[in-house]
């Protein structure tokens, strides 16, 4: 295995302490697009290996190979690292969360042997989506109205990106990545013409970013990577109505979303019908892991549970109240990162359905809708009126996902 390692970094000023490469095998490696190029070298046993690694990507990377580690390599920087002598095949990888699962591995093949490249296939224990304990952080689904202002409203917020821990399922506490300490992130609401100015402060340990689907802006500037300790202000005018996703846009996006970095922006359609109550439900898969969502399982789509608003079945255990005669609007957004949502309320028919910018039906009496289907990154709302008291269960009618945690209840009283 590797030993006797030295390292130097070549920065913008070109200064570095050159390594003694005598007797060593040297190789230039380029990083771009979640890949090392080349990503393999065949060497005889006893080879001392020195790599010159240039990060041509737009975010930080690194390489851990055997017992040696380059440290984080900033975009545009070059690191020269002595990985020591190899007597057996070894696989290295980028240690930044999710990058290995995206394919950032580097193989040193000694002789005819091949390094093991198979990820662990051991399944995690299934966790029942029942019986939350005192660790549940309940998410109130009620949606406050948009500010009632004669002129456009400026929505100005500062959100800190944090990497902490919270309970994500009964008895399961694991690391999560959050906007403003919330999972999902805050729900914003406004009207067409409103200005949103959101400053993101990265208090985490890795790069993050943000993408507001409601914004029609230059991605290069507004969705740039935010290094730890840095900040970025994202400003956009809401020009179109609907419910829009926002999420961390740092690769792998699936992992950053799975770890909690998502939320919604609601922009009211004109002439929105008054109702008795409004709620918002964000549907998503839940991936378990000791260090947060397991990157390899996320990449493979092997989710453990499902949820609305961050926790499986939370609205089974704390139902949403309503009264007979109430007309309720439920805003829905399917975060994914992969699965579809088919939202259905047992015992009810929707008389108004709005999906992705247009009404499917509105104030219908002779017809109706039994489900609102949404693919990942799609949203809308449904409206219904409760005519009788009772318990009305809402589900993702992709039933295996309902049984994994995407269900809840409206309890209607006289």
124-141: pLDDT as tens digits: 344 444 566 667 889 999
Q: What is the C-alpha separation between 26 and 250, in angstroms, rounded?
A: 32
Rounded mean pLDDT of 15-21?
60
pLDDT (mean) for 6-15: 49
Q: What is the pLDDT of residue 7?
A: 53
Chain segment 24-46, per-residue pLDDT in tens: 899 999 998 788 999 999 999 99
Using CA atoms, how far apart are residues 266 and 287, in angstroms rounded to an integer? 26
Which of 110, 145, 175 is the last residue before a domain boundary? Answer: 110
Express as a percent the part of the chain with pLDDT over 90. Answer: 82
Q: Does 361 lie in the same domain as 246?
A: yes
Q: Read off the pLDDT of each residue in 216-245 and give the average, rounded to a whole number.
A: 97
CA distance linking residue 224 with residue 359, whole number of Å: 35
Residue 27 within any structural domain of the chain: yes
Q: Do 254 and 363 fall within a single domain? A: yes
Q: In this structure, what CATH number is given to the domain that contains residue 224?
A: 2.60.40.420
Residues 312 and 401 in one domain: yes
Same domain, 85 and 181: no
Q: Lowest-confidence range among 123-132, 240-249, 265-274, 347-356? A: 123-132
Count of structural domains, the chain: 2
Which has the closest alpha carbon to 356: 214, 155, 143?
Answer: 214
Element (H, E) at 310: none
Separation between Cα atoms, residue 34 and residue 102, nearest integer Å: 6
Rounded distance between C-alpha atoms, residue 335 and residue 379, angstroms: 9
**Binding positions for Cu cation:** 208, 213, 247-248, 256, 261, 397
Judge if 182 and 234 occupy the same domain.
yes
pLDDT (0 to 100) of residue 73: 97
Asked if residue 139 belongs to a domain, the reply is: no
- Are both 274 and 186 inside the same structural domain? yes
Q: Residue 17: pLDDT band by 50, 70, 90 thresholds?
A: low
Pairing of strands 277-286, 211-212: unpaired
Q: Tally Cβ neighbours within 10 Å of residue 385.
A: 17
Are residues 346 and 268 part of one domain?
yes
278-307 in b/e burial notation, b at 16+ Cβ within 10 A? bbbbbbbbbbbbeebbbbbbbbeeebbbbb
73 φψ region: left (φ > 0), alpha (ψ -120 to 50), beta (else): beta
Q: Rounded to an integer, what distance in angstroms lies between the CA atom of residue 145 and that of residue 191?
A: 10
- Give me the count of residues in the chain: 414
pLDDT at 309: 98
Q: Is residue 147 part of a domain?
A: no
Which tens digit of pLDDT belongs to each residue from 279-334? 999 999 999 999 999 999 999 999 999 999 999 999 999 999 999 999 999 999 99
* Cα separation, 260 vs 292, whole angstroms: 10
pTM: 0.84
What is d(CA 332, CA 339) in angstroms, rounded to the nearest whole number? 14
Is the pLDDT at 16 greater than 60? The verdict is no
- Count of CB atoms situated within 10 Å of the CB of 14: 7
HSE-up (13 A, CA, CB side) for residue 206:
24
Classify the phi-psi angles of 46: left when phi > 0, otherwise alpha if psi is within -120 to 50, otherwise beta. Answer: left
pLDDT of amino acid 171: 86
Closest CA to 252 of 209, 215, 302, 219: 209
Are residues 197 and 319 both part of a single domain?
yes
Q: Is the pLDDT of residue 149 over 90?
A: no
- Give Dmax over CA atoms of the chain in angstroms: 86
Q: Does 166 share its domain with 310?
A: yes
Could you tell me the strand order of the sheet in which 327-336 lies? 305-308, 277-286, 327-336, 378-385, 352-355, 358-361
Is the same domain home to 67 and 163?
A: no
Residues forming the annotated binding site? 208, 213, 247-248, 256, 261, 397
326-349 pLDDT, tens per residue?
999 999 999 999 999 999 999 999
Domain boundary among 56, 75, 110: 110
**Structural domain for 169, as ranges:** 154-413
What is the reported pLDDT for 111? 86
């Amino acid at each position: 295995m590797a030993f006797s390692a030295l390292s130097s970094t070549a920065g913008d000023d070109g200064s570095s302490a050159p390594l003694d490469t005598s007797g060593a095998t040297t190789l230039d490696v380029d990083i771009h697009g979640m890949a090392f190029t080349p990503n393999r070298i065949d060497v005889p046993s006893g080879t001392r290996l020195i790599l010159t690694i240039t990060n041509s990507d737009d975010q930080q990377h690194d390489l851990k190979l055997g017992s040696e580690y380059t440290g984080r390599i900033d975009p545009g920087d070059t690191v020269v690292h002595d990985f020591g002598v190899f007597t057996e095949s070894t696989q290295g990888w980028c240690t930044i969360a999710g990058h290995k699962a995206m394919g950032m591995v580097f193989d040193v093949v000694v002789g005819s042997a091949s390094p093991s490249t198979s990820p662990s296939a051991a399944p995690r224990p299934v966790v029942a989506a029942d019986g939350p304990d005192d660790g549940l952080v309940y998410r109130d689904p009620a949606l406050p109205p948009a500010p009632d202002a004669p002129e456009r409203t400026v929505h100005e917020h500062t959100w800190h990106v944090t990497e902490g821990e919270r309970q994500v399922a009964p008895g399961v506490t694991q690391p999560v990545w959050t906007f403003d300490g919330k999972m999902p992130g805050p729900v914003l609401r406004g009207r067409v013409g409103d200005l949103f100015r959101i400053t993101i402060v990265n208090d985490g340990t890795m790069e993050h970013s943000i993408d507001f689907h409601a914004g029609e802006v230059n991605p290069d500037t507004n969705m740039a990577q935010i290094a730890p300790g840095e900040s970025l202000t994202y400003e956009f005018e809401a020009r179109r109505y609907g419910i829009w996703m926002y999420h961390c846009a740092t690769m792998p996006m699936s992992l950053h979303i799975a770890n909690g970095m998502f939320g919604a922006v609601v922009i009211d359609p004109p002439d929105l019908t008054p109702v008795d109550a409004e709620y918002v439900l964000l549907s998503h898969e839940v991936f378990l892991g000791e260090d947060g969502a397991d990157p390899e399982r996320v990449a493979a789509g092997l989710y453990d549970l499902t949820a609305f608003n961050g926790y499986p079945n939370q609205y089974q255990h704390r139902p949403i109240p309503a009264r007979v005669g109430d007309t309720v609007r439920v805003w829905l957004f399917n975060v994914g990162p992969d699965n579809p949502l088919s939202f259905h309320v047992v015992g009810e028919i929707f008389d108004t359905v709005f999906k992705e910018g247009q009404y499917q039906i509105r104030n219908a009496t002779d017809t109706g809708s039994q489900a609102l289907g949404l693919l990942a990154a799609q949203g809308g709302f449904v409206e219904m009126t409760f005519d009788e008291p009772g318990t009305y269960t809402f589900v993702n009618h992709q039933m295996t996902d309902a049984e994994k945690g995407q269900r809840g209840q409206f309890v209607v009283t006289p």
